[in-house]
């Protein structure tokens, strides 16, 4: 029974590779990256074509609202910092500043 499931899993992986040109786990990683990017952009209120300066400005505006000295939480600040860092990293080395 388990051997049969393993064979089906391998065959399904090969079919996905044949149809898409990528292994299933690569597609899952890409989907996770896209989801994380979408969440970061939503948190900072940015469009998909936002550049380095726009990301930094949006991050600063968000920090003013969620800073612990203004009633926010440190977790919210950490999340905002992570979103900024993720989006700046996605820009590539030439646009990071």
Range of the domain at 40: 29-95
Tokens of 28: 């899952």
Output the domain CATH number for residue 67: 1.10.287.110
Q: What is the pTM of this model?
A: 0.69
Tell whether 45 is covered by a domain. Answer: yes
Report pLDDT digits (tens) over 29-39. 777 788 899 99
Domains contained in the chain, number: 1
Tell whether 22 is covered by a domain. Answer: no
Per-residue confidence band for 87, with pLDDT thresholds at 50, 70 and 90: very high
């Amino acid at each position: 029974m388990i051997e049969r499931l393993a064979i089906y899993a391998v065959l399904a992986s090969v079919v996905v590779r044949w149809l898409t040109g990528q292994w299933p786990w690569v597609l899952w990683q890409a989907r996770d990256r896209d989801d994380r990017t979408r969440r970061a952009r939503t948190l900072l209120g940015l469009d998909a074509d936002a550049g380095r300066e726009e990301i930094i400005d949006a991050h600063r505006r968000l920090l003013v609202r969620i800073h612990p000295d203004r009633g926010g939480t440190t977790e919210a600040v950490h999340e905002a910092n992570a979103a900024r860092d993720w989006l700046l990293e996605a820009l590539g080395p030439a646009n990071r500043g």
